[in-house]
């Protein structure tokens, strides 16, 4: 017959396992949907213009993406953008409208939870860009 100490130790182990399972189910560290991964603040990793900064705050719901952002170009203008887009499957298409009227298009994917990669198009040929998620 197991000793009282062994039974007590077994109960502690069982309680620890149950707590770990419950924490894993509720902690938010489990798999996220594409909309969960896309929602947040993103910072562009260099559009090929030295000194430029571009950030956007995106909100995704079902297949719709909305957002706003800021840009600043070294020795140039700075201002705001609005973002509208759609999600189809694993692909994300965004239309970025600058406060002075220009429009850019981004098509990409989320290869990881904190990385958004794709192509950026204006009136010229597309360029490859990437964004890093800086906040949820």
Structural domain including 18 reads: 1-30
Number of domains the chain is built from = 2
Pair (24, 64) in one structural domain? no
Pair (6, 45) in one structural domain? no
Pair (18, 68) in one structural domain? no
Which tokens belong to 1? 């017959």
Pair (38, 13) in one structural domain? no
Range in 8-12, 109-113, 125-129 the model is least confident about:
8-12
Q: Specify whether the CB–CB gap between 47 and 28 falls below 8 A.
A: no
The number of CA neighbours under 13 Å toward the Cβ of 135 is: 6
Pair (65, 94) in one structural domain? yes
Three-state SS at 90: coil
Pair (97, 124) in one structural domain? yes
Mean pLDDT calculated for residue range 12-37: 54
**What's the confidence (pLDDT) of residue 109?**
96
**What's the confidence (pLDDT) of residue 22?**
39
Question: CA 119 to CA 131: how far, in whole Å?
Answer: 11
Pair (64, 131) in one structural domain? yes
- CA distances 97 to 32, 57, 127, Å, are 28, 14, 17
Three-state SS at 32: coil
CATH number of residue 59's parent domain: 2.40.128.120
- Report the DSSP beta bridge partners of residue 87: 92
Looking at the chain, the number of H-run helices and the number of E-run strands are 2, 8
Pair (50, 1) in one structural domain? no
Pair (92, 127) in one structural domain? yes
Pair (61, 8) in one structural domain? no
Pair (1, 58) in one structural domain? no
Pair (26, 42) in one structural domain? no
Mean pLDDT calculated for residue range 57-81: 93
**What's the confidence (pLDDT) of residue 123?**
77
DSSP string covering 104-136, please?
Answer: EEEEEEEEETTEEEEEEESSS--EEEEEEEEE-
**What's the confidence (pLDDT) of residue 27?**
40
**What's the confidence (pLDDT) of residue 118?**
94
């Amino acid at each position: 017959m197991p000793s009282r100490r062994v039974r007590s130790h077994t109960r502690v182990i069982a309680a620890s396992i149950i707590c770990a399972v419950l924490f894993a189910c509720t902690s938010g560290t489990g798999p996220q949907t594409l909309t969960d991964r896309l929602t947040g603040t993103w910072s562009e990793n260099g559009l090929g213009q030295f000194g430029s900064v571009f950030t956007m705050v995106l909100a995704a719901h079902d297949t719709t993406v909305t957002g706003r952002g800021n840009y600043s170009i070294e020795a140039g203008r700075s201002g705001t953008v609005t973002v509208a887009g759609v999600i189809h499957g694993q692909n994300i298409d965004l239309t970025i409208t600058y406060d002075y009227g220009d429009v850019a298009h981004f098509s990409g994917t989320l290869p990881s939870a904190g990385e958004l990669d794709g192509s950026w198009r204006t009136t010229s040929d597309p360029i490859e860009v990437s964004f890093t998620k800086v906040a949820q």
